[in-house]
Amino acid sequence: MHKNLLKDFLVLLSLGGILLVTGYFISKKIWNADVDLNIKISFEQENKLGEVFNEMILNQYSVIENNAVDSALHIISNRLTRGLDSTPYRYQFVILKSKEINAFTVPGGNIYVFSGLVDFTDSPEELAAVLAHEIGHAEKRHVVSKLVKELSIAAILGSLSGGDPSLIARLLKEIIGNSFDREQETEADKFGLTLLEKAKIAPKNLARFFEKLNSKDLDYNENLEILMTHPHNNKRIENARRYKVGNDFQALPFDINWEKVKMSIR
């Protein structure tokens, strides 16, 4: 009797184990569908896609270029990209003339910031925090994965060969207007916070920027990407606030006259 029971128990345990392992592998398989992006859309294709978007963006918005802005962006982007260990992208940061408080990333590593956002920041460190978050979206390939969810790979790749302009416009609207899912936002935050630390910029600047967005009664479109999953972002503010820097961390302030930069974009 006892031997039989033990045998039964072992069989039951093995069945449970098989079920658990199977469940894990199924989930891993589904989870890795995103990783398959690397196979479906190469970085070269992503870069080309970025060029198509860039062309359309430049047709829609005017770019702000002046010595103050260019020099500030150069300093900030240099510091951030030096913090990246390795990257398949050549990041370009562009300021677009618009009162919207927003920033977005297109495939290929081009990051666009609206002048309204620059005006909203109190320091170059705050802008760097937003850019670090956007770099997080690019590095984690959130933009491409969002596009793939919206459209078939064939349609996206079709737009590379100068396909349907209305389709590209729709994709662009998707990129600028809609937020990523909460998990991707959290992932981009995490990446951004680590990058800020590596770039010797206090990660608290990201929390400060979020708090400002939350506290001010702004007349904005709630779907703007940079506003994330507002108003559920308290947890994200808390995460950014609680981010622990290493003991040897010492913030290196930017030597930029921020008021002058802000004046130059108005």
Summarize as ranges the residues that interact with another protein (CB under 8 A).
1, 4-5, 8-9, 11-12, 15-16, 19-20, 22-28, 30-31, 182-183, 186, 235-236, 239
List beta partners, residue 247: none
Which structure tokens are listed for 68? Answer: 């103050």
C-beta closer to another protein: residue 34 or 119: 34
Provide the minimum distance between the beta carbon of 235 and another protein in the complex, in angstroms, as a whole number: 5
Smallest separation, CB 118 to another protein (Å): 28
Radius of gyration of the chain (CA): 22
Query: In the complex with another protein, which residue's Cβ is closer, 182 or 198?
Result: 182
Nearer to another protein, 237 or 261 (CB): 237
Which residues, listed in sequence order, are joined to residue 95 by a DSSP beta bridge? 113
CB of 27 to another protein, least distance (A): 4
Q: Give min distance, CB of 229 to another protein, in A.
A: 10
Is residue 231 within 8 Å of residue 218, measured between CB atoms? no
Alpha-carbon distance of 139 to 132, in angstroms, equals 10
Question: Do residues 149 and 130 touch, judged by C-beta distance below 8 A?
Answer: no
- Minimal distance, residue 182 CB to another protein, in Å: 6
**Cα 178 from Cα 223, distance rounded (Å):** 5
Residue 235: CB atoms within 10 A of its CB come to 11
Q: Which is nearer to another protein, 5 or 154 (CB)?
A: 5
Nearer to another protein, 50 or 136 (CB): 136
Please report how close the Cβ of residue 22 comes to another protein at its closest, in angstroms.
Answer: 8
Q: Which is nearer to another protein, 28 or 266 (CB)?
A: 28
Nearer to another protein, 4 or 166 (CB): 4
Length of the chain: 266
Query: Is beta strand 103-106 parallel, antiparallel or unpaired with respect to 92-96?
Result: unpaired
Q: How many CA atoms lie within 13 A of 176 on its CB side?
A: 21
CB of 84 to another protein, least distance (A): 23
Inter-axis angle of helices 204-215 and 182-198, nearest 10: 130
- The pairs formed by 241-249 with CB atoms below 8 angstroms and a separation of 24 or more are 241/204, 241/207, 243/193, 243/197, 243/203, 243/204, 243/207, 245/197, 245/202, 245/203, 246/197, 249/197, 249/200
